[in-house]
Amino acid sequence: MKNLNKIVCFCFYLFLSGYTPAQTDSATVASISLTDGTELKGFIVEQNDSLINFKTISGIEMKIYRKLIDDISFSKGEIVQGQFQRYDPNRTRLFFGPTARTLPQGSGYFSAYMIFVPFLAIGVTDFLTLSGGMTLVPGVEEQMFYIGPKVRFLELESFSLGGGVIYSHIEESDFGIMYGVTTVGSERAALTFGIGWGYTDEELSDTPFIILGGEVQVSNSVKLLSENWIISETGVISFGIRFFGDNLAADFGLFRPVGEDTDIEGWPFFPWIGFVYNW
């Protein structure tokens, strides 16, 4: 399949472009804001009711009185060549399709895809994520309801294996997909491969679909994404960018249908936007 071969090559190139052999260390970094406006990033070595022993990312050690501290927050990320790079908070999804990662227990997110398709997700356990929502399209009398449990079966240092179901209902129709998915790589650069089947009511599709995606973090707050769906000789390919902070992520992508019968005149891409708040 020519389209699939091109997508595989593009995602593999995207993955390699984000891989560097630089020394990295996973870390939870504390950000301390002092009452005079000073911002410090580093690690809390020891603390008591009145004093914090603090070590900055560059290795400077200091003692800080709590009365001088305005706020303390924590970010998960890596130390890359002496610089802290936060992790993408929206690591369980590409643009819309799932990765094999799940939410930690007690965490969650609220997302809005194309504004009118909201999702709410909760980490029930470290290996089970439950999500769902309802479309909010203005002027439409019958909205669509959906629910999407996802289970992580295996997680190693650079390999995750999961699967799930997306169940949707509108008017008197039930439909959705069942899938399995694998994510290989690090928090900064990874490939995701999935396979699944669509269903309507009680009928399962004979033809599987394939999900192939790639993600590469290029800075402390920017990641490049590609998410591609292939069904037989047709499908959808995409590429785009994610901007993120400690909790908020915003995606912008360009999607294009592909296949022998695809005939698009003018601008060949459809825009995609998504916003996610994580806690």
Q: Do the beta carbons of residue 99 and residue 41 sit within 8 Å?
A: no
Report the C-alpha gap between 258 and 260 in whole angstroms.
Answer: 7
7 confidence band (pLDDT: 50, 70, 90): low
Determine the 3-state secondary structure of 174 from DSSP. Answer: strand
Q: Is pLDDT at 166 greater than 90 in this prediction? A: yes
Question: Which residue type sits at 33?
Answer: S
User: What is the mean pLDDT of the segment spanning 250-258?
Assistant: 95
- pLDDT tens-digit map of 198-222: 999 878 999 999 999 999 999 889 9
In CATH terms, the fold of domain 2-22+88-278 is Porin (2.40.160)
Residue 168: exposure state from Cβ atoms within 10 A (0-12, 13-18, ≥19): middle
Kindly list the domain boundaries of the chain, sorted by start residue: 2-22+88-278, 24-80
Q: How high is the pLDDT of residue 22?
A: 41
Which one, of 94, 97, 161, lies nearest residue 127 by Cα?
161
The answer to whether the pTM exceeds 0.85 is no
Q: How high is the pLDDT of residue 95?
A: 97
CATH architecture of the domain 24-80 equals: Roll (2.30)
